[in-house]
Amino acid sequence: MSDHIVKAYDEDLSQLKTMLAQMGGLVEQQLDDAIDALTRRDTALADRVIQNDERVDVLEHQIEEKAILTIAKRQPVARDLREIMVAIRVASDLERIGDLAKNTAKRTHAMSDQLPRKLMSGVTRMGRLAQVELKNILDAYSHSDAEMAMEVWRSDEELDALYNSIFRELLTYMMEDPRNISLCTHLLFGAKNMERIGDHATNIAENIHYLVHGKPLGEGRPKKDVTAAMRIDLEGSDDR
Amino acid sequence: MSDHIVKAYDEDLSQLKTMLAQMGGLVEQQLDDAIDALTRRDTALADRVIQNDERVDVLEHQIEEKAILTIAKRQPVARDLREIMVAIRVASDLERIGDLAKNTAKRTHAMSDQLPRKLMSGVTRMGRLAQVELKNILDAYSHSDAEMAMEVWRSDEELDALYNSIFRELLTYMMEDPRNISLCTHLLFGAKNMERIGDHATNIAENIHYLVHGKPLGEGRPKKDVTAAMRIDLEGSDDR
């Protein structure tokens, strides 16, 4: 690229990074509000999260458009091109995290004060872990720090393990008392949402690795959500 | 664009469309196999779906790379640029549909022959509807047919309605007999996967509209999954 193009490209890229930082901040806020809303059964806050999701969607589209136009105008190659491809992918993962926060907020309306505190606290704990993962991966992205990204990638195991234990716990509660079933089903979906937010954080981590090293991470981290194939002992579970 | 560039661009675009058709065909097969595996409790077929998902992921990455390189080399504008943006988005939705098929296949391992036939048949019916939606939206995309896309977009209501009724039905079964809980939980997640496949089909429909008309669809179709905020009567449900 000529000097002139390089400068114009740098400006485009810096604008793109700013837009992504804004989107990241908004999605962090949405997740924080969604977890608070569910935990405190705050339906007004839940409704705000649901409404704000449109802003996340708009930001994703703006980032994608800006990225594509930058490629068309500046014809970047190598790392410059990767920067923009990765920006598109990160925006897509952030949009999905926003969706999962919205879906979690929606379930606030189904909560009741009869819910055992212990059940909710497991899901809240997953939410807090997911928030830490999201925050760390956004930091790693803004500093193009592949090592920090790999730490986040590895830390996702913890969230998966927590999901597996909460899945068992919720099923056991449902079996003990059918009156818990409706609430526990919503908490199960809520917990699954947090587990998937972790997966999107690991996607972002893999993209940071690709950005910095120019090649994909290779072998995927073995999935630790084993609940999809889990049969729960029909007499109740003894592994709580 | 000069004549030379136009011809080169047309070739790139036609290659891109071929890759997307391949990816669409593979994802259709994955979904078909996942539903068959779950319905017939065929764990060998389920394992094949789980393994094949990597091929879907590889195709998505190849399409994305081809698209980005085409933009960088040919600098398309207007409809030509939209063609490529939409190709990237469609590949992303197809990849998500592949993931949902894989997750559904995984749940085959948790099924048992004690499952009431009626419960499974509801989820199978959702799967068949999702397949029709997927097939129709792939046809609409390959013909750039915005009207057909809008038909698919509208038809997704049916899948949402079916999900809502199956959600209630599964919860009722769980309440009637706690021994159903573990199985029904997996079917709930399976049903939710099919509902989300429908959402991805409507995403693709919106992108076909954007491709053809050059502007977004505007107001979103109101979401018909009302279960996220649903409280089921603790004494059992009377709306089966």
Q: How far apart are the first and last CA of chain A?
A: 61
Within its chain, how far is the Cα of B219 from the centroid?
A: 21
**What sign has the CA pseudo-torsion B155, B46, A199, A82?**
negative
Residue in chain B closest to A108 (alpha carbons) equals B229
pLDDT for A25: 98
Q: pLDDT, tens digit, for every residue of A189-217? A: 999 999 999 999 999 999 999 999 988 88
Strand residue runs (E) in chain B: none
Check if the beta carbon of residue B45 is closer than 8 Å to that of residue B37. yes
Of A150, A125, A157, the closest CA to residue A136 belongs to: A150
CA–CA dist B144, B178 (Å, integer)? 49
Of chain A, the percentage scoring pLDDT greater than 70 comes to 91
What local confidence, expressed as pLDDT, does residue B50 receive? 97
What is the set of domains in chain A, with CATH numbers?
Answer: 3-229 (1.20.58.220)
Q: Which of A71, A163, A166, A176 to mutate to test the interface with B (most CBs of B within 10 A)?
A: A71
Please answer whether residues A169 and A240 qualify as being in contact, where contact means their C-beta atoms are separated by less than 8 angstroms.
Answer: yes
* Contact yes or no for B185 and A188 at CB 8 A: yes
- Residue B234 pLDDT more than 80? no
Q: What percent of chain B has pLDDT over 70?
A: 91
> Strands, E, within chain A: which ranges?
none
Residue A233: pLDDT band with limits 50, 70, 90: very low
**Residue A76, pLDDT score:** 86
Segment B50-55 shows an average pLDDT of 97
Residue B41 in this model has a pLDDT that exceeds 70:
yes
* Residue B237 pLDDT level (bands cut at 50, 70, 90): very low
Does the pLDDT at position B171 exceed 50? Answer: yes
Say yes or no to pLDDT of A154 above 80: yes
Q: Which residue has the tokens 């490629």?
A: A71
Nearest-by-CA chain B residue for A41: B229
Q: pLDDT per residue over B57-115, tens digit each? A: 999 999 999 998 898 888 888 889 899 999 999 999 999 999 999 999 999 998 877 77
Phi/psi of residue A74, each to 5°? -100, -15
For residue range A96-152, list pLDDT tens digits in order: 999 999 999 999 998 877 777 788 999 999 999 999 999 999 999 999 999 999 999
Find the largest Cα–Cα distance for chain B: 72
Q: Are B133 and B159 in contact (CB under 8 A)?
A: yes
Nearest to B231 among A110, A230, A234 (CB): A110
CB contact under 8 A, A103 and B228: yes
Q: Of B27, B11, B10, B13, which Cα lies nearest the Cα of B134?
A: B27
CA separation for the pair A167, A229 (Å, rounded) = 12
Q: Is the pLDDT of residue B235 over 80?
A: no
Using an 8 Å Cβ cutoff, are A107 and A53 in contact? no
Interatomic CA distance for residues B154 and B147, integer angstroms: 11
Residue B224: predicted pLDDT? 52
Residue A238 pLDDT > 70: no
